[in-house]
Amino acid sequence: MDIHTNIPLKNYTTMRLGGNARFMTEVHTPQEVADVCRNAHAQSLPIFILGGGSNVIVRDEGFAGIVVRNRLTGFDIVSEEPSQTTIKIGAGENWDEVVKRTVDMNLSGIEAMSAIPGTAGAAPVQNVGAYGQEIADTLISLDAYDIQTDRFVTLQASDCGFSYRQSIFRSTSAERYVITSITLRLYKAAPQPPFYKDVQDYFDTNSITIFTPQAIRDAVIIIRTNKLPDPAVTPNTGSFFRNAVIEDWQLADLRKQYPDIPTYDMPDGRFKVPTGWLIEQTGFKGKTLHGMRVHDKNALVLINESAQSYADLAAARNEIIGAVRDQFRITIEQEPLEI
């Protein structure tokens, strides 16, 4: 495997900011994953696993270790049953291509996560979700290399600590595992309403009454295209902020001043508030701050219009977080990982 030095990470991340990686390589097999991790450990080099670069922010100083680009492929049917199909997917597979293949098989479970950039292995890291589905709903298990114990392991979904946009891979076990494959259980039955509001609105507007995985995929792609800029064309990381999650007493307090505040019920009794709505209320929607523009169609998205550095991005981010905190007493959080 080839090791490259002093590589500009802005060329490998969709926000197109940040410094250089001291070393960079690609891995195509589990054995290469183990080899590069063992070598890095022997040299006391930190490791960062990079998929599509669509959910990563790089600081100006860059990364002093080795960036490992995950290119492990595979799409194998593990089992076929009357009502469901189990599929094992290589961590380096393009996520949207995976979704398309499952929809072409008329399988349901991840079709609402269409058009999300990135790789399959990144999906469990932040418990990727969209339009009423999340990876925790269908993931059975994942295979990974455990850097700490120097062995390959299989983690069940229950081991992953999934919650809203969270997992052990972003919290208690950050930097411990290199995911090599994920195994999903998908369903042969047609998707059933109620659907996420945006999807249902699209169906109603277009008089769609026959619900299939393909119908949902088509709807989601159109909705996302209208709301989110393509990171291959316009530098951004998709949703830059997570939606806020608040307690019932906070919501009751906020409704006194904002009776029309939109919310979604969470399984744990808390409430999700669209952070885009919060940012919009502060007046930042469509504004440009330090070279970063708040998207005029979706205030969750920050677009790198003319920013020259991570420092510019951080200044814009902190200004928005501060304004939301001052107005709503809610501290919103950044979605992309940061190195």
Q: Which of the residues are catalytic?
A: 165, 239, 335
Instruction: Report how far apart, in Å, the C-alpha atoms of 17 and of each of 234, 247, 310 are.
Output: 13, 35, 6
Nearest CA-CA partner of 322 in 249, 236, 241: 241
State the amino acid at position 103 in one-letter form. Answer: V
Instruction: Report how far apart, in Å, the C-alpha atoms of 224 and of each of 130, 239, 284, 304 are.
Output: 10, 11, 21, 19
Q: DSSP H helical segments within 228-293, as ranges?
A: 248-257, 275-281
Residue at token pair 């070279």: 291
Q: Is 268 exposed, middle or buried (0-12, 13-18, 19+ CB in 10 A)?
A: exposed
State the amino acid at position 152 in one-letter form. Answer: F
For 207, half-sphere exposure in the C-beta direction (CA atoms, 13 angstrom radius) is 0
Residue at token pair 């990686």: 21
| Rounded-to-integer distance, Cα 264 and Cα 251, Å | 11
Q: Which strand ranges, in their side-by-side order, compose the sheet holding 84-90?
A: 75-80, 84-90, 177-187, 139-146, 151-156
Q: DSSP H helical segments within 179-247, as ranges?
A: 197-205, 213-227
